[in-house]
Amino acid sequence: MDTVLLDVDGTLIDSNHLHALAWQRAFAGHDLYPEWWRIHRAIGMGGDQLVGEICGQDVEHSLGDDLRDEWAQQYRKLLPEVRALPRAAELVRMLADAGYRVALASSGAREFTDAALDLLGLTRSDFAVVTSADDAENSKPAPDLLAVARERSGGDTAVLVGDSVWDVASANELGIACVGVRTGGFAGAELLDAGAIEVVDDVAALVERGWQP
């Protein structure tokens, strides 16, 4: 194992609830009122997948781009409330010091990935590569983004650390292992059933044991 791919939202930063709130407000602005739990359980998908997953393909075709634009506006307002998860930056540095290629593989927009780096006190130079939604045609649960991150990192055999069943599905399709964390709101049993090889409470648990994949 020479490469560690890290999801961002719900894994390194505590943002999933705020993403769900931003989506709820975006939908409400177009008189769409999906249940809160449906929105929350879709967080971790890319925005290109999420609208159709929650509201159906007719809404995606007619309003998808407008809803994504409104979501981005709403999430920008919520950014001051986002916090880094404990010891997330320490995990990045620990893995890099151990000789692993560490890559960020986020389905979020580039601006929000950069905002996450600021919260973590990290820069792009701390990673072998940083990818975002703009770097792949299809977002999670498709494996495209993980494949790009692995390829650009120059690594061969990778593992993903992620918080959602969509992360696990993406890793499974690419043929790599996924370690799940509970900080995204998915139960450990759900992540294991989806195919995660292991589940821990948060990335701090990996730091505490000096995790090396």
Residue 88 shares a structural domain with residue 179? yes
178 has which bridge partners? Answer: 160
Q: Where residue 204 sits, what CATH number does that domain have?
A: 3.40.50.1000
User: 119-176: per-residue pLDDT in tens?
Assistant: 999 999 999 999 987 887 777 888 999 999 999 999 889 999 999 999 999 999 999 9
Residue 9 shares a structural domain with residue 21? no
Q: How far is CA 208 from CA 95, 138, 212, in A?
A: 13, 35, 11
State the pTM of this model.
Answer: 0.94
Among 32, 62, 81, give the residue marking a domain's end.
81
Contact 206, 200 (CB under 8 A): yes
Among 81, 98, 113, give the residue marking a domain's end.
81
Q: What would the two tokens of residue 151 be?
A: 């390829």
Residue 38 shares a structural domain with residue 109? no
Contact 155, 128 (CB under 8 A): yes
Model pLDDT, residue 115: 95
Residue 42 shares a structural domain with residue 136? no
CA distance 92 to 170: 21
Residue 146 shares a structural domain with residue 188? yes
CA distance 148 to 132: 10
Residue 171 shares a structural domain with residue 100? yes
Nearest to 180 by CA among 151, 205, 152, 144: 205
User: Residue 182 CB: number of other CB atoms within 10 A?
Assistant: 17
Model pLDDT, residue 104: 95
Domain range for 31 is 16-81
What is the band of 89 on the pLDDT scale with cuts at 50, 70, 90? very high
Q: What would the two tokens of residue 118 be?
A: 């600021």
* Lowest mean per-residue pLDDT among 2-6, 45-49, 158-162: 45-49
Q: Phi/psi of residue 160, each to 5°?
A: -105, 140
- Please count the structural domains in the chain: 2
Residue 73 shares a structural domain with residue 171? no
Task: Give the torsion sign (CA, 205, 206, 209, 210).
Answer: negative
Among 26, 60, 81, give the residue marking a domain's end.
81
Instruction: Tell me: cis bond preceding 86? Omega within 30 of 0 counts.
Output: no
Q: What percent of the chain clears pLDDT 70, i.e. is strictly above it?
A: 100
Number of alpha carbons in the 13 Å side-chain half-sphere of residue 206: 30
